[in-house]
Structure 1
C-alpha cells in the first residue's frame, strides 16, 4: 500500500491555485472571445470547468469548455494489458484559429500532453495552444512546459502525485505518495 509522504494542497489551496491560474489566463489572452478551455479526460475536465467558472466570475463571460480523450494517441497503447476504453471527445466549437488552453491535473513526463496536442491537431488548427496544470512535478521526457502552473512540486521517480477532486473522488486534495 502506498503511504502518504506529504499533503500538498487541501481544498482551499487548490481553489486559490485555480483562481490565480484563471487570472493569469486572462492577463495573457486579451481577446478572450477566441478562448476555449479543453480538459484532458479524467481530472483535467473538472479542472477546466472550474477554471471556466472562475473566468466567468471575473469577466462575466461563458467560455466554451471541451473534453479531450487522448486514449488512442497514447504512445504506450500497445503496452497496456487491458483493452483501452475510448471515451468521447467533446468540443463545444470549432477550434481552428482559436486559442486553446489544455487543462490537466499533473504534468510529469510530458507524454500525456504530447498525446493531447496530437489529438487537438487532428480536430483543427488552433491559432495558439497553451497548457494549464494544477501540479508540475518535473521529470520531463519531452520538451514540454506548462504556461500556467498551480504548484511546482519536486518529486522523485519513486513518488506519485495524487490529485483527488470532489467531482470524481468525492474528496479534495493533492498528496505525494511513496511507491512501495
Structure 2
C-alpha cells in the first residue's frame, strides 16, 4: 500500500480553510498531540486563520493504559494558552481506537472550557472503539489487523505502512 502524504496534507488544509470559513471560526487555537500530531499541525497551520502559535499537548498521563505493566512513556510537554471560550482545532496523525483523542479532550478540559473542539486527523483507520469521529480527515484507510501507520519526522515528514507480528 502506497500512501500519498502530500495529497492527504493538502486535503486537510483545504478542508480546514473551508471549515473555518463556514463555521465563522477566526483565530482558533491549533493544538498538536505529541509527537505526530505536532508534526502534522506544523504542516497545516498556514491553512488556519489564526495568529496564535501552535499549542502542544502531551496526553501520556491521561491515557487509560498508562498503568499497564511494561508501559515506558516518553513524556513531552503540554503548552496551551488560555482556552476558555476559544475554538480549538485538535490535530493528530492517526485516528484508530479513539482513546488518544479521548485522553486529549480530558486534558484540554482540565485547562478550561473551550467554545468548540474540531478534530483534524491525517489518517482515519476506521477502527474506532469509542464514539469519536474526525471533522477533518486527510485520508480514510482500511488496513489489515497486522498493519499500522508509521509517521516519522519532523523533517522530512514521511509515512509508511508497517506489518506487525
Partner of 1:96: 84
Structure 2: gaps (5+ residues): none
Q: Secondary structure at the match of 1:7?
A: coil
Worse-superposed segment, 111-120 or 75-84: 75-84
Q: Secondary structure at the match of 1:122?
A: helix
Higher normalized contact order (CA 8 Å, seq sep 6+, divided by chain length): 1
Partner of 1:73: 62
Give the Cα–Cα distance (whole angstroms) in 2 for the partners of residues 119 and 127 of structure 1: 15
Give the Cα–Cα distance (whole angstroms) in 2 for the partners of residues 34 and 96 of structure 1: 13
Q: Answer whether contact 1:52 1:63 (CA < 8 A) is retained.
A: no
- Per the normalisation by structure 2, the TM-score is 0.88
- 1:94-151 Cα distance to aligned partner (Å, 9 max, x none): 1111110110001100000000010000011111001111101121110001111111
- 5 Å-filtered alignment, 1:1-180, equals 6-9=1-4, 14-30=5-21, 31-55=24-48, 62-91=51-80, 93-165=81-153, 167=154, 170-180=155-165
Give the Cα–Cα distance (whole angstroms) in 1 for the partners of residues 43 and 52 of structure 2: 11
Which portions of structure 1, spanning 4 or more consecutive aligned residues, are displaced by more than 6 angstroms?
none
Give the Cα–Cα distance (whole angstroms) in 2 for the partners of residues 105 and 152 of structure 1: 12
Q: Secondary structure at the match of 2:130?
A: coil
Structure 1: gaps (5+ residues): 1-5
Q: Secondary structure at the match of 2:45?
A: helix
Give how far 1:45 is off: 0.6
Count of paired positions:
163
Give the Cα–Cα distance (whole angstroms) in 2 for the partners of residues 173 and 34 of structure 1: 29
Q: Answer whether contact 2:84 2:113 (CA < 8 A) is retained.
A: yes
Give the Cα–Cα distance (whole angstroms) in 1 for the partners of residues 107 and 14 of structure 2: 27
Give how far 1:159 is off: 1.2
- Per the normalisation by structure 1, the TM-score is 0.82
